[in-house]
Amino acid sequence: MNRQQVRKEFFVSHRNTFMFSVLCALSLLFAIGCDNQSDNHNHDDATTQSEIQYPYKITTTVGMITDIVRNVAGDKSAVQGIIGEGIDPHLYKPTRGDVVKLSQADVVFYSGLMLEGKMGDVLIRVARSGKPVYAVTQAILDQGDYVMTDEAEHYDPHVWMDVAGWIRAVQVVAKSLGEFDPQNKAFYQTNAKGYLEQLHKLDTYAKQVIGSIPQKQRVLVTAHDAFNYMGRAYDLNVRGIQGLSTESEAGLQDIEKLVSFLVDNKIPAVFVETSVADKNVRALVEGAKARGHHVRIGGELFSDAMGEAGTYEGTYIGMIDHNVTLIARALGGQAPERGMQGKLNLEH
């Protein structure tokens, strides 16, 4: 982690009780930055001069990262994720076992953009030990104005909702693994190339099925603002009840405004999320019903977590296939019932 990364990851304004811990972490991060250059040099030398024991250990945070790392690393590494299906990473607090996994890993990948805010101090300690710790969104943040923010200038971390954005994360993983394990650099690049071909097909499918929704109904209403990158990439009007982080609270006025929007625009469906409580979305449904407009819950979307491990929806491709297929079908578009690869099990 370098000084530029430190500033971008942790020098963010917050209006909640997490502010104090972030500021404390900031001072430690700057201390890391002062001698990080020499630490990185020593680590690179150690990696190239010593023999890596295969499979080496990689620890990741959220499932979307775990999946792409497994696809790129192949059999060279044993990859274990910390935050599983149905768990909200915004609110997740690392356990003692998580700390052990991170400290015993040879390489660590996390999202960045403050997604894992409550894990910040642990990631700092791991990076300070000299272990290679990579934020998969750092290169994306460095590439101009791609990263979105809210009105308070908080980063939107949900880059994976735009397949083209997550393609950049895959490239970061391949490059980082090549730096850690130079003798297998070509292996990682080959794996990444094959996986990226699948992601390009997924991106094309998402554009097609979302594009089939009638323009007036191309509105995605969900529990929180996790779908803005999807909206920008695939031309959806996205509205969340809560803000970018589920730590924010939705007020009665926010819900009433959305109810009016649903009624006035005759939006047919709203969506719940697997990792967020559905009470606010159900309040929208009830509010619209009281005003004479029937809005149904169009289904359950994967936002900050993927599906159950071992299932198609428990992969990044399956997650996005599920989301865009469900959205298209619920809002009046055309999409195969079982998705791009015929593997979905959608219930209507």
Would you state the pLDDT for residue 145? Answer: 87
Fold that domain 207-330 belongs to in CATH: Rossmann fold (3.40.50)
The CATH number corresponding to 3-204 among 3.40.50.1980, 3.30.930.10, 1.20.120.80, 1.10.357.10 equals 3.40.50.1980
Share of the chain above pLDDT 70, in %: 82
Per DSSP bridges, beta strands 77-83 and 56-62 are parallel
For range 101-115, the mean pLDDT = 94
Q: Which of 14, 165, 3 is nearest to 90 (CA)?
A: 14
Domain ranges of the chain: 3-204, 207-330
Q: Is the pLDDT higher at 55 or at 23?
A: 55
pLDDT of residue 347: 61
Which residue, chain included where needed, has tokens 């969506």? Answer: 271
**Buried/exposed code over 140-150 (b: 16+ C-beta within 10 A; e: otherwise):** bbeeeebbbee
Look up tokens 């554009």; give the residue.
207
More confident residue, 9 or 71: 71
Q: How far is CA 160 from CA 42, 90, 115, 244, 311, in A?
A: 33, 15, 12, 14, 19
Tokens of 285: 């449904």
CA dihedral 174, 180, 185, 191 (to 10 degrees): -40
Q: Among positive and negative, which fits the CA dihedral 172, 177, 183, 184?
A: negative
Residue 79: pLDDT over 70: yes
For residue 39, pLDDT over 60 is answered with: no
In this predicted structure, the answer to whether residue 34 has a pLDDT above a threshold of 70 is no
| pTM value > 0.85 | no
Specify the pLDDT at position 258.
87
User: What is the tens place of the pLDDT at every residue in 225-282?
Assistant: 789 999 999 999 998 886 544 444 556 777 888 899 999 999 999 999 886 778 888 8
The residue with greater pLDDT, 265 or 196, is: 196
All residues at 6 or more sequence positions from 218 whose CB lies less than 8 Å from its CB, including other chains:
210, 235, 236, 237, 331
Q: Over 60: is that where the pLDDT of 107 sits?
A: yes
- Rounded-to-integer distance, Cα 71 and Cα 77, Å: 10
Encode 202-217 in three state secondary structure. HHHHHHHHHHCCCHHH
How far is Cα 326 from Cα 339, in angstroms, rounded to an integer?
9
- 5 or 324: which carries more pLDDT confidence? 324
CA gyration radius for the chain? 21
Instruction: Decide: 305 and 87 in contact? Cβ < 8 Å.
Output: yes
Q: Please give the pLDDT value at position 14.
A: 34
Residue 40 has pLDDT above 50, yes or no: no
Per residue in 140-153, pLDDT (tens digit) is 998 888 999 987 88
Higher-confidence position of 104 and 152: 104
Looking at residue 51, the DSSP 8-state letter turns out to be: P
Residue 306: pLDDT over 60: yes
**Lowest-confidence region among 12-16, 117-121, 186-190:** 12-16
Say whether 207-330 and 3-204 share the same fold: yes
